Amino acid sequence: MPDEWVRLAGFYGCIAVVHALGWGLFVCYLGDYPSLTDLGFAAYLLGLRHAFDADHIAAVDDTVRFMLHKGKRTLGIGFFLSLGYSTIVVGLAVALVLSASGVGQDLPFLQSLGGLIGAGVSGTFLWVIGIMNLMVLLDNSRIDTRL
């Protein structure tokens, strides 16, 4: 039990550090780009709302059920799902900033690449969840014929 509290404290610590870093950068650049203040707040709030979309809740729920069925620990599943999402969002934001500054590729290329990556990651994850659900269904549908 104490190990789980340490892991949970680590998760919350990471969340606190990422929020402090994000809000720190937001405040740091607020003076240079005051017109983007509303956009920054809207993006943050929409991101929080997006975390509670039905497909995310279903993905976490299905993964937790599968892990419980296999007798494994489930602490941190939602954390790592959100970490994956955050990594993609930060990567695309950095690519967009580099594109806007003229350092990176042009924006249409990034839009196409982002669409391909987003669809590929989402599609792969949905296939994996579907296969895991099928495995659980097949395992649960076996009838024990021993008497």
Measured at the CA of 86, the angle between CA 107 and CA 62, to 5 degrees, comes to 120
pLDDT at 58: 82
Measured at the CA of 11, the angle between CA 10 and CA 13, to 5 degrees, comes to 60
Locate 129 and state its tokens.
Answer: 């969840």
At 2 the three-state DSSP class reads helix
- The full set of domain ranges for the chain reads 1-50, 53-147
pLDDT at 52: 86
How far apart, in Å, are the Cα atoms of 120 and each of 26, 127, 136?
30, 10, 24
pTM metric for this prediction: 0.60
pLDDT at 145: 52
**One pLDDT digit (tens) per residue for the chain, 147 residues:** 688 899 899 999 999 998 899 899 888 888 888 888 888 888 889 888 888 888 788 888 888 888 888 898 888 888 888 888 888 878 877 777 777 666 655 667 767 777 888 788 888 888 888 888 888 888 877 765 554
